[in-house]
Amino acid sequence: MSSPPSFPIPIADADTQPFWDACRRHELVIQRCARCSRWLWQPRPICSSCQTPDPVWTRVSGDGRITSWTVIRPPTLPAYAERVPFVVLLVQLEEGVRLLGYLVDDAGALRRTDGEAEGVAIGARVRLRFHDQAGTLLPSWTITP
């Protein structure tokens, strides 16, 4: 008897726990420096620009534009075998921060697509959704019509 293949899921640490807690509430938060107002990504304990400690977790809309994308095809991890092909997006949020995530439908389900004729294009507007991957909610995006 074999166990089903498992998905890679993020492991929160002291710096990232607030981010993953917000995702569980279907909210996206990004750190912002209280002194110089710079948006910070990845999460960190001090501002990378002015070294002020304790950046402030700030809720953002999560909406943005596609700056790059790729199609995930076989071979892949066994857990993804029945999901390919699908699209991974690099999204630039309105705050200027860039995050990776899946292309999903309005309900947050992974869209099986090769990326052709689906509105996937650099510069296309996207809206934040959350994809449930083995119980962890991952920021993901849907194309804005």
**Residues of this chain that bind Zn ion (CB under 5 A):** 33, 35-36, 38, 47, 49-50, 52
| Shortest distance in whole angstroms from residue 131 CB to Zn ion | 31
* Three-state secondary structure call for residue 90: strand
Shortest gap between Cβ of 90 and Zn ion (angstroms)? Answer: 24
Measured from the CB atom, the residue of 63 and 95 that comes closer to Zn ion is 95
- Give the sign of the dihedral formed by CA 62, CA 129, CA 21, CA 66: negative
Where does residue 38 rank: exposed (0-12), middle (13-18), buried (19+ CB within 10 A)? middle
Q: How far is the CB of 58 from Zn ion (least distance, A)?
A: 13
Residue number, 10 or 96, with CB nearest to Zn ion = 96
Which residue reads 């999560």 in tokens? Answer: 62
How is residue 55 written in tokens? 């950046």
Q: How far is the CB of 45 from Zn ion (least distance, A)?
A: 12
User: Is residue 67 within 8 Å of residue 92, measured between CB atoms?
Assistant: yes
Is the Cβ of residue 23 or residue 40 nearer to Zn ion in the bound state? 40
Which residue number, 9 or 50, has a Cβ lying nearer to Zn ion? 50
Calculate ∠ Cα 120-131-4, nearest 5°. Answer: 115
